[in-house]
Amino acid sequence: MGTEEGLKSKIDKIMERFEEMDKNPPKKEKKFKLPLGKRMGGTAKVKKGYALVILLRTNGSTLMNFFPIRDDLVYISDVDTYHISSTDFIGYYKKYPLIILPEWDLQPLRRHKLYKEAIEHERLAKPQRAIIQAIHAAQLKQKSAFGGTGLLWLIIGGIAVLYIIYAGITGQWG
């Protein structure tokens, strides 16, 4: 005869696993942080005319490093090219000036150009958010008064009326 577990022992094992899961909840995802080496020397480099550059490579990888800005140009030594870096192209990540460069283009990504493209192709996120909020508001208005606790009171009232009618017909009060 094989060893058979009873239902109680199986439930006990399941409860133990649930307790272990409660003790060790799943870890939260960490927010993006610059690597420690880049953070430590970052503020000094920013003062010396450096910017944090995210280079989008043609093979899908990225290179993130501080590069100097000289005469509105950024020299990327890894690919041996100069890229434009005027104030139109610079954004900020926390306290660091940030430039996002595609390796295949001499101009960095510009938020103004990307915004105009989104308007032209009608893919803005702001109208989408407004539409979603309007749908939620419409759903809230459609909820009837009998939803939730109103329905419960309706059922209790119906039972009370039926009891009174039944008691009146059969002559059995209380």
pLDDT of residue 2: 46
pLDDT of residue 132: 80
**Per DSSP, which regions of 1-139 are E strands?**
50-56, 62-70, 73-76, 81-84, 91-93, 96-102
Q: Are 53 and 65 in contact (CB under 8 A)?
A: yes
Model pTM score: 0.47
Q: Please list the pLDDT of the chain residue by residue as tens digits (174 residues).
A: 445 667 788 888 888 887 777 777 667 776 666 666 655 555 565 567 788 888 888 898 888 888 888 888 888 888 878 877 777 777 777 777 888 888 888 778 888 888 888 888 877 777 777 778 788 887 777 665 555 677 788 888 999 999 888 888 887 765
pLDDT of residue 46: 58
**Six-digit token pair at 46?**
């920013």
pLDDT of residue 90: 76
- Residue closest to 72 by CA, chosen among 56, 101, 49, 52: 49
Within 8 A by CB and 6+ apart from 64, the residues are 34, 38, 52, 53, 54, 55
pLDDT of residue 96: 78
How far apart CA 164 and CA 158 sit, in angstroms, is 10
Sheet containing strand 73-76, strands side by side: 81-84, 73-76, 62-70, 50-56, 96-102, 91-93
How far apart CA 60 and CA 24 sit, in angstroms, is 36
Helix/strand/coil for 46: helix
**CB under 8 A, 24+ apart: contacts of 87-94:** 88/112, 90/51, 93/34, 93/52
User: Can you name the residues that pair with 98 across neighbouring β-strands?
Assistant: 52, 91
pLDDT of residue 167: 85
Helix/strand/coil for 160: helix
**Domain spans in the chain, listed from the N-terminal domain onward:** 36-113, 140-174
